Amino acid sequence: MKVGAHVSISGSRVSSDDETPPYDDIRNAVHRQVAFGGNCGQIFTTSPQVWAQPEISDEAAEGFRTETETQLEGPWVIHSAYLVNLCTPKEDLRRKSKASMQAELDAADKLGIPYVNVHLGAHTGAGVEQGLDNAASVIDELDVPDDVTILIESDAGSGTKLGGEFEHLSGIIDRTETDIGICIDTAHTLVAGNDLTTPEAVDETVQRFDDEVGLEYLEYIHLNDSKHDVGTHKDEHAHIGEGYIGEDGMKAIVNHPDLRDLPFALETPTEDGRGFEWNIEKVTELREE
């Protein structure tokens, strides 16, 4: 089973070797993933709250690739900055979003990471069709490395944000000339109006995704429970099995024949004395051989 967490790369270099001086290093992500019990996962390459370019030395990149190969099953995925808005009609935001995405794609190529995950963003009044057109045009202007794939993440669907409906995901696939994939967030999918609370509901939602988008495009899953119910459009994650999806729904997801072999990255909270280690262990307990 490929399961891990969204881990931080920040801080001094984490090492069991006392002779190694501390320094900021992206290899921290590998060490932290292993410590949590994960074997794949997600990172930010920079602060997601600001427009910043990844700064990764050749030494750190080589070390990251080597340590990933020897210690993890993989694959990693880079999550783009929260500021990126592919759907925007505003030229300045479009330009910044495109530059940020290109930097993340180049970083992924340097690090040997096969995926860059991004939300479609909000059309802010331009309308769904124009928003999807805008997003497709940005994607097609990017120089995507051969071994990297852009993943469009499903959204909770509030306001003018796109990605909450499967139709939006199929719409961007149809519009772009670039080979892209999809990342489903289970919490987002639930609150956007798709039931995942029982095995029967999971089967129905997966079938509808296949009918409207196509399972062949599904490359990654953000595995999160939700603090809010179906159709509420409120994005707040819960511990695995303790939210509205619950143990029955989560067990059905991680064992579903069309989903079980995909990589799962957790973005669960750190609260109530529990964090990623507890949640990864919970997922492995729900998994059936």
> What's residue 12's pLDDT?
52
> What's residue 38's pLDDT?
98
> What's residue 22's pLDDT?
41
> What's residue 24's pLDDT?
53
Q: Which CATH class is domain 3-286?
A: alpha beta
Q: Give the amino acid at 61.
A: A
Task: Answer yes or no: pTM beyond 0.85.
Answer: yes
**Which of the residues in the chain have pLDDT under 50?**
16, 18-23
- 215, 173 in Cβ contact below 8 A? no
Strand partners, 161: 122
Other Cβ atoms closer than 10 A to 25:
23
> What's residue 4's pLDDT?
98
Of 36, 27, 38, 33, nearest in space to 65 by CA: 27
At what angle are helices 91-111 and 58-71 packed, to 10 degrees?
60
> What's residue 10's pLDDT?
81
> What's residue 25's pLDDT?
82
Q: Is 258 left (phi over 0), alpha (psi -120 to 50) or beta?
A: alpha
> What's residue 289's pLDDT?
84
In angstroms, how far is CA 194 from the centroid of its own chain?
18
Q: What is the pLDDT of residues 204-243, one digit of tens each?
A: 999 999 999 999 999 999 999 999 999 999 999 999 999 9
The alpha carbon torsion through 43, 282, 194, 219 (nearest 10 deg) reads 40
Enter the tokens of residue 9: 């790369």
> What's residue 81's pLDDT?
96
Domain ranges of the chain: 3-286
